Structure 1
Amino acid sequence: MIELLKQFFILGCMSFGGPAAHIGYFERIFVKEKQWLSAETFASGLAISQFLPGPGSSQLGMYIGYQRAGYWGALGAFIAFTLPSFALLTAAAMFSSNDTAGWISTLISAAKLLAVVVVIDATISMGRKFIHSFTTAVIAIVTTVWLLVSPSGVVYQVLPILLAGMIGAIGFKQTSIQAASISMAHAQRRSGIILSLFGFLLTVPWLFNNVLPVQVFNLFYQAGSFVFGGGHVVLPLLEPIVADVVTDSALIEGYAAAQLVPGPMFTMASYLGATVEGLSPIWGSIIATVAIFLPGALLMFGVLPVWEAVKSQPRLAGAIIMINASVVGLLAAALYQPVWVSAYSQWTDLIPIAVGLVALIKWRLSVFWVLLMMIGYQWFF
């Protein structure tokens, strides 16, 4: 458990680049280096996180923590990964300043280049694992192209994964799959309890909405329940929901501040909660942060028991194969937009990216040393 907290805290301190980069970091550390879970299990968690509202990378982190140490592991992973950005954004709201030091800009630029390297590595690694036939290659390519040319939105993101699963279920049935470790009846019972709690928290707080802390919890819980996509999608979808307790100025400032810190973009709620008038900054930040992340966690662990039971059905083995291939395409699309688009500015950036890939893949250096390399490049060039 201590090692789990340590690894997620380190990632929380250095995971710039948004959800796509976080996926790459998770795959590198927990699948390749630590081998805490298989590539198949990782892809399964990634697929679930794409279907649900909430912060996808944080949901994936909680899923990894759960696979490692149960529900306490999920909670520990969430706290450790979120704590750095929570603390930084809460402090930023309390002691806001327009001063952005040059070294901060250097660090962010270096972290963006590192994100390119890490996501390329993750895409190659998952591609080698899951692209093993002409059909899986086509599924991955079509998913990538679709996500790059289609409008943004959760429907367009989920559609290729759903279609891939349908194709796999119909045409690629297998029988050699591990037996279900959880019965459907037991899975439905666990899911029912967790999803009932999700619904309870979505409706009951309205009865006490005249109490400011409850109102803040209610508004941010709604935001976490209905915001799909995470990352930069948060701002336009969050604005109408929290307008009653957060000013437009604070919303823009919180969004800008969230660009400057590592970790999940959803922690902009930490900044916004700290600006609510009538609450102490610390309590406002805690309430808003817990409220916006909680529904995504409940949905993840409400769906997970049934998913684990269903995916172990032999007739759905083909669906899992095709979903995994589609997930590779999803990661490849994310590599270009937003990771590459936000990081690449001039042709000389190709040099540290190429060296970083060699260092990570061939020399097997840790992500930390590659980050130092990127910082050196940005600082001197």
Structure 2
Amino acid sequence: MTLKAIIEVLTVSFKLGCTSFGGPTAHLGYFHQEYVGRRRWIDERSYADLVALAQFLPGPASSQVGIGIGLLRAGWLGGVAAWIGFTMPSVILLILFALLMQGFDIGNSGWIHGLKIVAVSIVAQAVLSMGLKLTPDRSRATLAILAAAITLLWQTAASQIVLLLAAGGIGLFLYKHSEVAGSSHSALTMPISKRSGMICLGLFLALLIGLPIVRQVVGGEGLFGLFESFYRSGSLVFGGGHVVLPLLEKEVVPTGWMSKADFLTGYGAAQAVPGPLFTLAAYLGAMISGVKGALVGTAAIFLPAFLLMAGALPFWNTLRQNKKVQGALVGVNAAVVGILLAALYNPLWITAVQQPEDFVLAILLFGMLVYWKLPPWLVVLAGAVGGMLLV
């Protein structure tokens, strides 16, 4: 692929990274308008296939779709350019915000409290929308409720991994012959060989298994510990960016890297910037270890998404027709709703909603998001102002 094509991918994805507010669903709409409608880099059927694959894989769906289009347009470097362009604007903004947090004693400011309440409302919206889509019947709703209960009552590092594996097994048993497991789709053509795909998938698994072992040997402090924690979190997120919240919270708060208040402040700030919510890793890394930590954290949390997208593409046409695989995914998605519901209570609710006025602000912001359909950045601004008024 030519240098011109790579620069073109970087430029277009950077523009999208500066303007794509509203979460992954909105991002996919912006991508469709730009890549399919305006530039015709990819046709409708291939775009739909890429979106389906991104939904199937763990990780940030919108970023993975962008990476896939970059791979199609300009090869491996095109995929890297698409990721850099789309994530760079929000990474820069969140690093600057983290440095501001460290430079001034603003942790107890009213607007910071307002950002925490914003996070409650946004995750509540995510639970509602995901619940309607992913748990529409009794069996899946029951699975979600059990996952929420277990997540709250069994708070260990391994609990969510065990939950997702168990939910996948239940889904395999219950839904392998069900219509909810999906149907056939059009074929997707990508310039990636099966050998390259196997290498990417092998590297993904090697890092997921090997990094924790090495960390046990060399210790969990420093940038290596940060990389391992964020890579593992990025590897296990099904269901969208909001689900990374409980995973990351368990990595950075109990370990003493930062307070729960600072974590929730960053999560609220991440709602106000364009681009993927996974760039919360930039804020967390900067709070833990400055700019180096931000770069390491960002690279670590997105690396699984890149390896999985590049690794799965050559096999997707066959894999997506497998009812057993898709049945397992149905179970995993139901459990994800429960995990996110648990995160709505702890750490969000118990930290942010401490008096009736906080609850009033939370339901007002929830109404702005769900019923009035206001843009997230405006809701974040309203939350910050409301938090100042409450103090």
**TM-score, reference length from structure 1:** 0.66
Contact persistence 1:61–1:77 (CA under 8 A): no
Report what 1:301 is aligned to. 306
Mean Cα displacement is larger for which, 315-324 or 218-227? 218-227
Written as runs of structure 1 = structure 2, the 5 A alignment for 1:187-198 is: 187=194, 189-193=196-200, 196=203
Gaps of 5+ in 2: 1-12, 34-46, 72-78, 215-221, 235-246, 271-279
SS in 2 for 1:48: coil
Q: C-alpha separation between the residues in 2 aligned to 1:366 and 1:347?
A: 25
CA distance change for structure 1 residues 300 and 359 in 2, over 3 Å: closer, same or farther?
closer
- Displacement of 1:266 in angstroms is 5.2
Tell me how far apart the structure 2 counterparts of residues 252 and 339 of structure 1 sit (CA, whole Å).
15
**Structure 2 residue corresponding to 1:119, chosen from 116, 123, 142:** 123
In the alignment, which of 89, 100, 103 is matched to residue 106 of structure 2?
100
Q: CA deviation at 1:346?
A: 0.4
Q: Give 1:269 shift.
A: 3.4
The CA RMSD measured in Å over matched residues stands at 4.1
The one-letter code sitting in structure 2 at the alignment partner of 1:5 is: G
Tell me if 1:166 matches 2:134: no
Matched residues in 1 for 2:204 and 2:341: separation? 36
* CA shift for structure 1 position 82: 1.6
CA contact (8 A) 1:121 1:357 kept: yes
Percent of aligned pairs sharing the same letter:
18
What's the offset of the Cα at 1:152? 2.7
CA distance in 2, matches of 1:119, 1:271: 23
Say if 1:61 and 1:78, in contact at 8 Å, map to a contact too: no
Q: Aligned letter for 1:6?
A: C
Query: Is contact 2:226-2:297 (8 Å) kept?
Result: yes
Task: Say whether residues 1:137 and 2:146 are aligned partners.
Answer: no
Q: Is the contact between residue 116 and residue 343 of structure 1 (CA under 8 Å) also seen in structure 2?
A: yes
**CA positional deviation for 1:26:** 2.5
Relative to structure 1, the CA distance from residue 47 to residue 87 in structure 2 (aligned partners, 3 Å threshold; closer, same or farther) is same
Structure 2: distance between partners of 1:352 and 1:340? 13
Q: Contact (CA 8 Å) 2:54, 2:61: kept in 1 or not? A: no
- Contact 1:113–1:353 at 8 Å: present in 2 too? yes
Out of 73, 79, 88, the position equivalent to 1:79 is 88
What's the CA shift for 1:92? Answer: 6.5
Q: Are residues 1:66 and 2:82 paired? A: no
The residue type equivalent to 1:177 in the other structure is S
Which secondary structure state, in structure 2, belongs to the residue aligned with residue 181 of structure 1? Answer: coil
Q: What is the aligned counterpart of 2:183 among 161, 176, 181?
A: 176
Whether the aligned pair in 2 keeps the contact of 1:28 and 1:122 (CA below 8 Å) is no
Q: How big is the shift at 1:256? A: 8.1
Report what 1:110 is aligned to. 114
1:234–1:266 contact (8 Å) kept in structure 2? no
Whole-angstrom CA distance in 2 between matches of 1:296 and 1:101: 26
Structure 1 residue aligned with 2:243: none
Match of 1:233 in 2: 251
Instruction: Tell me whether 1:269 sits opposite 2:285 in the alignment.
Output: yes
For the 8 Å contact 1:106–1:378, the answer to whether it is kept is yes
Q: CA separation in 1, counterparts of 2:201 and 2:195?
A: 10
Post-superposition Cα deviations, 1:297-349, rounded to whole Å, max 9, x if no partner, equal 33332233455637513222212222222221122111111121221110222
- Report the residue type matching 1:159 in the other structure: V
Partner of 1:328: 337
Within the alignment, does 1:5 sit opposite 2:17 as a pair? yes
Amino acid at match of 1:304: M
- The two structures have a TM-score, normalised by structure 2, of 0.65
Q: Is the 8 A contact 2:70 2:82 kept in 1?
A: yes
Pick one of 327, 339, 351 that aligns with 1:318.
Answer: 327
Cα 1:335–1:44 shift into 2, 3 Å: farther
- Correspondent of 1:48 among 58, 62, 86: 58
Paired residues of 2:120 and 2:349 also in contact (CA < 8 A): yes
Name the CA shift for 1:227/1:352 in 2 (closer, same or farther; >3 Å): closer
Q: Deviation per CA, 1:24-72: give whole Å up to 9, x if none.
A: x62564368988899x9599659624xxxxxxxxx56643643675523
Q: Paired residue for 2:23, among 11, 21, 26? A: 26
Say if 1:222 and 1:292, in contact at 8 Å, map to a contact too.
no
